[in-house]
């Protein structure tokens, strides 16, 4: 296939690009290389595949609808994976407009380009954060998600609803993927494992929110990419049994679907830190702090739809994933 991937210099996006190229696909990567975190890390990710014969890298912003439209005209992708977004729950509390502009306006531009060019399938990143105030675990795509507790979560839920509208009105197959705390090599510096490694190696205190009682369904990046590739090759179809009198939240009479991608095996944050300590050979100094606004205290993914429809669920043990990250971090930063 010819696949256009936005956020191609990002954590998940760069790993997806490599996998698609390995399977023989042609990939057009889009990224604006902004400075939300160190741009040199983004450059290093892209350097792994920038010269591949089946890859084209475009440095543009999805907020620029005209430039995005031109890229579709020029390269004529068959499928699109939208991973470009302003990430981070805590950052959204102080910088809400960044999420409106990137995650809503930018996504609207992607949807419109998909409509104009009759894309076969749009797959886009949602988030486990959409479950918001819901405390019933494991989180299921059948659960209510109308009470987000951060603007980041609200922007991702908005993406799901926007995609449904385009699927309903224009027949574009769209699939939203609710990622659960993705981690692994080449990760983002604002994510827990990356921050913890940096602080442990520099001898600084680790801020541990909710007094370490947070539980997260950590999901290894290669497992997420595997799920994405399988779903990408199976465009969303209407649920012929969907009824408006008893609507199923994760499907529709339109070609629109939602899936959780998580390990279904949450662990406490303190146990996560212990695994990292073991791999780095150092003891962390922790600072216990109260829960932060916008944080969900416990996440766990119900991945039954993923298993039933694709015969797949994430399988990398947390200890293996943390070890691979620690090895990469020490090699990349020469620690």
User: Could you confirm whether 152 is annotated as catalytic?
Assistant: yes
Is the pLDDT reported for residue 161 higher than 80? yes
Q: Is residue 62 part of a domain?
A: yes
Q: Is residue 29 part of a domain?
A: yes
Quick: pLDDT tens for 65-90: 999 999 999 999 999 999 999 988 88
Asked if 81 and 232 count as a contact pair (C-beta separation under 8 A), the reply is yes
Quick: pLDDT tens for 246-276: 999 999 999 999 999 999 999 999 999 999 9
Q: Is residue 216 part of a domain?
A: no
Give pLDDT, residue 93: 85
Q: Is residue 7 part of a domain?
A: yes
Q: Is residue 287 part of a domain?
A: no
Give pLDDT, residue 88: 82
* 90, 219, 43, 231: CA torsion to nearest 10: -110
Two tokens at 204?
């600084």
Give me the helices (H) in the chain, please: 11-22, 39-47, 65-75, 89-94, 96-99, 106-116, 151-170, 192-202, 221-232, 269-280, 304-310, 318-332
Average confidence (pLDDT) over 176-190: 96
Q: How many C-beta neighbours within 10 Å does residue 124 have? A: 24
Name the active-site residue from 152, 166, 220, 259. Answer: 152
Give pLDDT, residue 297: 85
Say which DSSP state 301 is in: B
Q: Is residue 101 part of a domain?
A: yes
Task: Tell me which residue range forms the domain holding 96.
Answer: 2-182+221-263+300-315
Give pLDDT, residue 310: 96
Is the pLDDT reported for residue 50 higher than 80? yes
Q: Is residue 325 part of a domain?
A: no
Q: Is residue 38 part of a domain?
A: yes
Phi then psi for 27, rounded to 5 degrees?
A: -125, 130
We report the CATH number of the domain holding residue 235 as 3.40.50.720
Q: Return d(Cα 84, Cα 61) in angstroms, integer.
A: 9
Count of domains forming the chain: 1
**pLDDT above 90 coverage of the chain, percent:** 90
Q: Return d(Cα 19, Cα 297) in angstroms, integer.
A: 33
């Amino acid at each position: 296939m010819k696949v256009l991937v936005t956020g191609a210099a990002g954590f998940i996006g760069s790993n997806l690009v490599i996998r698609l190229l390995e399977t023989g696909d042609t990939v057009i990567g889009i990224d604006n290389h902004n400075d939300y975190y160190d741009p040199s890390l983004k450059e290093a990710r892209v350097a792994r595949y920038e010269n591949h014969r089946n890859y084209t890298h475009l440095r543009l912003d999805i907020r620029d609808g005209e430039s995005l439209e031109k890229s579709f005209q020029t390269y004529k992708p068959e499928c699109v994976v939208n991973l470009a977004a302003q990430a981070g729950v805590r950052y959204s509390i102080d910088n809400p407009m960044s999420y409106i502009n990137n995650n809503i306006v930018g996504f609207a531009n992607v949807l419109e380009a998909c409509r104009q060019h009759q894309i076969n399938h749009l797959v886009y990143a949602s988030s486990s954060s959409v479950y918001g105030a819901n405390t019933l675990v494991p989180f299921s795509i059948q659960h209510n998600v109308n009470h987000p507790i951060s603007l980041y979560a609200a922007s991702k839920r908005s993406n799901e609803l926007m995609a449904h509208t385009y699927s309903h009105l224009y027949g574009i197959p769209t699939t939203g993927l609710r990622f659960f705390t993705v981690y692994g090599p080449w990760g983002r510096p604002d994510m827990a494992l990356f921050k913890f490694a940096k602080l442990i190696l520099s001898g600084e205190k680790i801020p541990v929110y909710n007094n370490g009682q947070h539980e997260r369904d950590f999901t290894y990046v290669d497992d997420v990419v595997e799920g994405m590739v399988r779903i990408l090759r199976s465009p969303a179809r209407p649920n012929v049994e969907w009824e408006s009198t008893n609507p199923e939240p994760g499907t529709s009479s339109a070609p629109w679907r939602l899936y959780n991608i998580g390990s279904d095996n949450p662990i406490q944050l303190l146990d996560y830190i212990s695994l990292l300590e073991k791999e780095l050979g150092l003891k962390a100094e922790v600072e216990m702090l109260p829960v932060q606004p916008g944080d969900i205290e416990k996440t766990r993914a119900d991945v039954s739809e993923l298993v039933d429809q694709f015969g797949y669920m994430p399988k990398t043990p947390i200890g293996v994933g943390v070890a691979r990250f620690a090895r990469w971090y020490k090699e990349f930063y020469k620690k």
